[in-house]
Amino acid sequence: MPGVIKVNPTTVAQAFEQVGKDVTWFNVTFAADPTASTGPTGAIQAVYGAIQLMGTIIAAGPVSATNQSFGVEGVFDASHLAQVQTDIQALGTVDSVDVSGALVVGKDLVIA
């Protein structure tokens, strides 16, 4: 009687994030410290608004003096991330915090 042999495919390492929808992860690096500008008309809220012009924020890391990480619903390529950066930089100075030098860089989600 012939037998059945189960063979598992080899694994391929690749970046993949899934939380029910596609998510793009990126980091915003600030040239000026935004941590004192937390109110509804502050720099941090303005940055959130600029990001949400392109997609819905589903995760936001803690704000530090130099950066903050975000997860946004959807698949963003380099041109999308460049547009997010342009939108943030266009805010200029908000609540005495200059965000015109902010940089946006895509990243992979790493859970260790």
**Domain extent listing, the chain:** 23-107
Report the chain's mean pLDDT, rounded to a whole number: 89
Both tokens assigned to 69: 């990480």
**Residue 65 DSSP symbol:** S
Banded pLDDT at 1 (limits 50, 70, 90): low
pLDDT at residue 15, as a whole number: 59
Average pLDDT of 108-112? Answer: 76
Contact criterion met (CB below 8 Å) for 112 and 58: no
Contact criterion met (CB below 8 Å) for 99 and 46: yes
Cβ-Cβ contacts under 8 Å for 40 (sequence gap 6 or more): none
Fold of 23-107: Alpha-Beta Plaits (3.30.70)
pLDDT at residue 21, as a whole number: 80
Per residue in 30-70, pLDDT (tens digit) is: 999 999 999 999 999 999 999 999 999 999 999 999 999 99
pLDDT at residue 12, as a whole number: 64
Banded pLDDT at 77 (limits 50, 70, 90): very high
pLDDT at residue 3, as a whole number: 75
Q: Which residue has the higher pLDDT, 86 or 14?
A: 86
- Report pTM: 0.81
Contact criterion met (CB below 8 Å) for 69 and 75: no
